[in-house]
Amino acid sequence: MRSIEQAVGRLLLGRIPGPTLNCEHRKQLAAGRLGGITLFKENCRSLEQLARLAHDIVQSSMHVPVLTVDQEGGAVQRFEEALSPIPSPMALAALGEDELARVTEIGASQLQKLGFNLLLAPTLDLQTNPLNPIICTRAFGSSPQQVSNAGLKAIESIERAGLRACGKHFPGHGSTSEDSHLALAVVAKSRAELLAEDLKPFIDNLPYLSSILVGHIWLSQIDEEPIPATLSKKIVSGLLRQELGYDGLLVSDDMLMKGLTSRYGLSEACILALEAGLDLLLVLGTIEETMDAHRAVVEAVKSGRLSEARILASIKRLQKLFPERLRTFNLDEEETRLKLFAREVENATASLVEISARAVVQHRQGFIRPEKNGLSQENTASPLHSTGTWHVLAPRHPRYPMNLADEIQRLEPRMQLSDWRYDLATDLEQFSNRLSSLEGEKQVIFLTYRSFINKEQCKMMQDLLASCRVIHVAVDSPYDLVLSENSRETPSYALMDPSNLAIQGLARVLTGRAKAEGRLNLDLSPVELPV
């Protein structure tokens, strides 16, 4: 290491604004003032473009760069324009640990072949709060032991594929009601409750985890002052390092989240995080914000506030995990190898549609009526066997199209379907008027999305059940299943995944082309209807 500036740079990851490596980020990578890049959806247009971008980042870096992404699958799908989309963690867990391991390794292997060396996964949070706005189907389930076991399978698969796994979001984000992107998330459990519940999947997997991502979560029973775990010496150095004995790499969640910056500001938060004992900081803003954080940390070292030994300890952990650059695609010389990889991705994607269909949970069979509706003759198990039009009632969502009507129509061109959309903050009077205007036998496939947060869907379900034949699909949170729990005639499914891949799989199930084999990993017994 040639300077303090370069030593500090090794500990900071940035974010680029588009599909190519811009001049300023290239300059800072080459100078050693940036230790790598985290990529997102906006950085991906195609496989060839993504391969070129990864190659440019790796080759431009003075350090062995950390090239990372939070490609979790399901709701967090960054590269579906280039790589195989994969089902959500909860959907994979519904199929069992063997399938989970196999699919996780497929996704990780594709990333590794592009030159990625760190995967910000698996999520080891428990999904125990219906009002949680951030985890949901990113978790494997609600049981500490189930999540622990599934987490180990995922960790082993990621590492076997040649990436480093990063368990998150320590000390557990699943029981919070806040989104740490927007505010400080709070867990008010006692130490004993934490050890038995939220912390258990992390503790069980400490021997297998190369790295852990620490979230902006306040443990109010451990820290009296409202301080996020990322900045807490009691949590990082005390609980995680000393009490639990973990000596692997500690990664921050994005340091630009308002759970931090609203109180501390970016630069001070970065210094506090390193003082607390973190090793690698995700500073995922503009290049100006990342370099402001860099300058502040350098000044803290020069002034003696941060010791050089503290910085070097983190560098040592990075060098242990990432001793050399991974191979990337040099497209000027390896066009054939990229074409072979593209074919591999295409074949994997086809198999993952079938896996996604099998992962669907059929919570209740409800009616099955062997009438004709233009469906293929062999699809007698389909709940869509009836005459007349099926109205697919789906939410307008800014991220997830949920084009179920189109996917069913593609499989069954002769079916009569309509695509009926509603806003999550829906006008109930307008909805009632539209429902009253439907002619003939009213048949609706109702896709709900996080109804405990978007509560109007509860009243919509009541109105539908009173006047329609309904098929209920809980697209994201399986807690939505309670909306139709009291109607035995209503078939209900938990998709546990709002992505395009999952909607394709659901269409195969509803048209009888695939069998729903998933088993729910979430306890619905204590859950009551949202009011």
Q: Which residues are catalytic?
A: 181, 253
Q: Answer whether 35's CB lies under 8 Å from 318's CB.
A: yes
Burial 435-467 (b: 16+ CB within 10 A, else e): beebeeebbbbbbbbbbbbbebbbbbbeebbee
> What is the Cα–Cα distance from 387 to 191, expressed in whole angstroms?
58
Report CA-CA distances (Å) from 320 to 4, 70, 312: 20, 21, 12
The crossing angle, in degrees rounded to 10, of helices 287-303 and 23-31 is 20
Q: Phi and psi of 200, rounded to 5°?
A: -60, -45
> What is the Cα–Cα distance from 510 to 507, expressed in whole angstroms?
5
For the chain, give the number of residues: 531
Q: Phi and psi of 285, rounded to 5°?
A: -115, -150
Query: Which segments within 131-206 are labelled E, that is strand?
Result: 164-170, 185-187
Exposed, middle or buried: residue 175 (CB in 10 Å: 0-12, 13-18, 19+)? Answer: buried
Please report the DSSP string for 383-432 in residue order: TT-SSSPEEEEEEE-SS----HHHHHHHH-TTS-EEEEEEETT--HHHHH
Report CA-CA distances (Å) from 410 to 191, 504, 511: 53, 10, 11
End-to-end CA distance of the chain: 59
> What is the Cα–Cα distance from 203 to 45, expressed in whole angstroms?
38
Element (H, E) at 83: none
> What is the Cα–Cα distance from 380 to 392, expressed in whole angstroms?
20
C-alpha 520 chain-centroid distance: 18
> What is the Cα–Cα distance from 104 to 102, expressed in whole angstroms?
6
Q: Checking DSSP bridges between strand 492-494 and strand 443-448, what pairing results, if any?
A: unpaired
Exposed, middle or buried: residue 332 (CB in 10 Å: 0-12, 13-18, 19+)? Answer: exposed
The crossing angle, in degrees rounded to 10, of helices 287-303 and 266-276 is 50
**Structure tokens belonging to residue 182:** 């927007």
